[in-house]
């Protein structure tokens, strides 16, 4: 990996975590089997009032917002006077300490790591696994370099500069968006299987430094499925400075650029 691109990846994450520790997240950790709500919000002031109540706003329309709330926060909403236009309970099948039974085809952290190891072992002349660092709970944030140059793979992370343009694909910033880890994994498999087969793709790989990091937020992912029923966690698992009543920082909103 070229020094500049590698440094940019690591610096971006260090900046994220630095900001994460310095800024208290205001939103609560969404409870198991939360409520999906639609709330009246005609302008930015009404949206700010809703956000200040601790609502994790997921979607905005011209006259309302949508979000996920616990039973406790729903009760708080009703007392606040904010018009509730729609609400229903969200649930999922229970399977144990992994994905709900209907979604077991998706990759948890262990299966994602295994998938990367198998791809790297199958295509050692193209792929190299690396870690950009550890999460707050000690998990490696794994990535894979796609590069047809043995010299480039051998100098991964050192002071070697690359003349080739680089690109980084990342998934699962938000813990509950599990499909967002599947897309980078599929991309990585597609690149590896078709190098030397597809002329255009081969030329693309030969002329670029490509890096794939499928699961940026493994702590949040594992927490979200830890009971076998989705907890709808969006953020990571950093304890917030509020006495332990909430966890997490949204990594996707805390980059320094």
Element at 213 (helix H, strand E) = strand 209-213
Q: Tell me, yes or no, whether 49 and 107 share the same domain.
A: no
pLDDT in tens, 13-24: 434 433 333 333
Say if CB 98 and CB 178 are below 8 A apart: no
Q: Tell me, yes or no, whether 117 and 39 share the same domain.
A: no
Q: Is the pLDDT of residue 175 over 60?
A: yes
Say if CB 10 and CB 132 are below 8 A apart: yes
pLDDT in tens, 38-62: 899 999 999 998 988 888 787 888 8
Place of tokens 């409870």: 31
> Is residue 71 in a domain?
yes
Q: Tell me, yes or no, whether 84 and 166 share the same domain.
A: no
User: Global pTM?
Assistant: 0.67
Q: Tell me, yes or no, whether 84 and 10 share the same domain.
A: no
> Is residue 40 in a domain?
yes
The count of domains in the chain is 2
**Which has the closest alpha carbon to 252: 48, 16, 6?**
16
Structural domain range at position 189: 3-23+97-221
Where in 53-208 does DSSP place strands (E)?
56-60, 64-69, 84-89, 127-134, 140-146, 166-170
Say if CB 207 and CB 141 are below 8 A apart: no
pLDDT in tens, 94-153: 555 788 878 888 999 999 999 999 999 999 999 999 999 999 999 999 999 998 888 778
Q: Tell me, yes or no, whether 40 and 115 share the same domain.
A: no
Q: Tell me, yes or no, whether 18 and 45 share the same domain.
A: no
> Is residue 29 in a domain?
no
Residue-level length of the chain: 257
> Is residue 254 in a domain?
no
Say if CB 31 and CB 56 are below 8 A apart: no
Calculate mean pLDDT across residues 251-255. Answer: 83
Q: Tell me, yes or no, whether 7 and 130 share the same domain.
A: yes
């Amino acid at each position: 990996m070229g020094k500049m691109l590698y440094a940019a990846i690591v610096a971006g994450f260090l900046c994220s975590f630095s900001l994460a520790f310095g800024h208290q997240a205001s939103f609560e950790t969404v409870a198991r089997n939360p409520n999906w709500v639609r709330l009246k919000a005609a302008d930015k002031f009404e949206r700010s009032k809703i956000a200040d109540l601790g609502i994790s706003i997921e979607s905005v329309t011209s006259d309302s917002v949508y979000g996920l709330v616990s039973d406790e926060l729903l009760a708080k909403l009703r007392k606040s006077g904010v018009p509730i236009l729609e609400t229903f309970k969200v649930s999922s099948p229970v399977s144990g300490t992994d994905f709900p039974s209907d979604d077991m085809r998706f990759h948890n952290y262990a299966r994602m790591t295994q998938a990367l190891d198998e791809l790297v072992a199958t295509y050692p002349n193209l792929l190299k696994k690396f870690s950009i660092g550890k999460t707050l709970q000690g998990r490696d944030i794994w990535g894979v370099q796609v590069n047809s140059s043995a010299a480039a793979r051998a100098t991964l992370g050192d002071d070697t500069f690359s003349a080739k343009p680089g690109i980084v694909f990342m998934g699962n910033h938000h813990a509950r968006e599990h499909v967002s880890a599947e897309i980078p994994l599929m991309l990585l498999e597609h690149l590896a299987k078709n190098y030397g087969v597809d002329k255009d793709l081969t030329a693309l790989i030969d002329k670029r430094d490509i890096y794939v990091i499928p699961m940026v937020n493994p702590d949040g992912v594992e927490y979200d499925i830890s009971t076998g029923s989705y907890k709808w966690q969006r953020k990571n698992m950093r304890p917030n400075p509020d006495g332990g009543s909430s966890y997490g920082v949204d990594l996707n909103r805390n980059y320094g650029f």
